[in-house]
Structure formats: structure tokens, C-alpha cells
């Protein structure tokens, strides 16, 4: 089943446990469990955080959590179930986030990933992210992180192309 059969929607409180288990098993494996269901629910309630799920026949095929600041956003988590990868689900989730960030006037989106995760590294590169720095011991002193960023607009005030019509002037 392709990405078209997947429904991307805002996460709801009843999704928290499934998201937490995916985070534990697919993102945080070997590092300890930080994003349990209670923390995921707090993220859902935070007005500056966007939590999405990719749903297929009532089950969650993927999810993402992104925090928004004034000018920067931080992609906290993104995961797609292994059997659902390479079907465009991650791309659809990230596209929704990037459009939301552009609409919010965000300058750049930042993320960290395990430095050795070549599949994720390639995915984010293909999605327009650039590598910025490697941080040794970032993950509980045991594993290095690679920081990546995607610039959405040049720093400074957002430019608006729309102008109000001038009434009665030619």
C-alpha cells in the first residue's frame, strides 16, 4: 500500500502510546526511553509544538514532532515503521512540517540524528537539509549526533509578496 493510502493528521491523545512505543523502538533504541506516552501527550498540548501521525487503516505507520520558536523550528522526532519506509510517508510528514514552518515565518529547521544513521542522513539530505556539525557523546555520552539544518528563508523580517489593492488609483 503506497503513501496515498496514508492519512496525515494531527495526533490526538489516544495516539500517544503508539507514538511513544515507536519512539522507543525506532528512534531511542539503546539510549533509554525519554519520549514516553506522558511526554508525547505534553508535546501534543504544547501550542508551540506540532505532532502529526501517518495513519493507515487505524494504525500508525509514522509520526513526527516539531517544536516552533520565533525564527527557528526543531524537528524533535520523525519515525516510519520499517515495513512502511521508502513509500513516501516520511516525505509527506516532513512536507507538512516544512509548509507549516514557512507559513509561521520560520527561518530554519534544525534536527539531530545519530551520526551513524546513514539512511536518515540520506533522507534528510534529499529533503534539503545540510549537515552542520557532529557532536560527540550527544546521546547520553555514548553516541555522536549529527546536526542538520534547512534554511527556509533568509534571516530578517519575512517578505510578503501580497500587497493590498489600491482603491480608486490607476
Q: Which residues are catalytic?
A: 112, 124
The grid cell for 83 is: 515495513
Alpha-carbon distance 7 to 10, whole Å?
10
Q: Grid coordinates in use for 49?
A: 509544538
Instruction: Report yes or no: 103 and 95 within 8 Å, Cβ to Cβ.
Output: no
* Residue 23 DSSP label: I
**Residue located via cell numbers 487503516:** 57
Dist. CA 11–CA 62, nearest whole Å: 11
Q: Are strands 7-10 and 49-56 parallel, antiparallel or unpaired?
A: antiparallel
Amino acid at each position: 500500500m503506497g503513501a496515498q493510502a496514508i492519512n496525515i493528521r494531527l495526533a490526538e491523545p489516544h495516539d500517544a502510546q503508539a507514538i511513544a512505543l515507536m519512539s522507543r523502538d525506532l528512534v531511542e533504541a539503546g539510549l533509554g526511553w525519554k519520549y514516553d506516552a506522558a511526554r508525547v501527550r505534553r508535546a501534543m498540548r504544547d501550542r508551540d509544538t506540532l505532532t502529526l501521525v501517518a495513519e493507515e487503516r487505524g494504525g500508525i505507520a509514522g509520526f513526527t514532532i516539531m517544536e516552533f520558536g520565533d525564527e527557528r523550528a526543531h524537528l524533535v522526532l520523525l519515525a516510519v515503521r520499517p515495513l512502511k519506509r521508502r513509500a513516501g510517508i516520511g516525505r509527506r510528514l516532513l512536507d507538512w512540517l516544512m509548509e507549516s514552518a514557512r507559513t509561521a515565518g520560520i527561518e530554519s529547521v534544525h534536527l539531530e540524528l545519530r551520526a551513524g544513521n546513514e539512511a536518515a542522513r540520506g533522507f534528510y539530505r534529499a529533503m534539503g537539509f545540510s549537515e552542520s556539525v557532529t557532536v560527540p557523546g550527544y546521546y547520553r555520552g555514548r553516541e555522536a549526533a549529527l546536526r542538520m539544518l534547512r534554511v527556509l528563508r533568509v534571516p530578517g523580517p519575512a517578505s510578503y509578496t501580497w500587497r493590498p489593492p489600491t482603491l480608486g488609483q490607476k
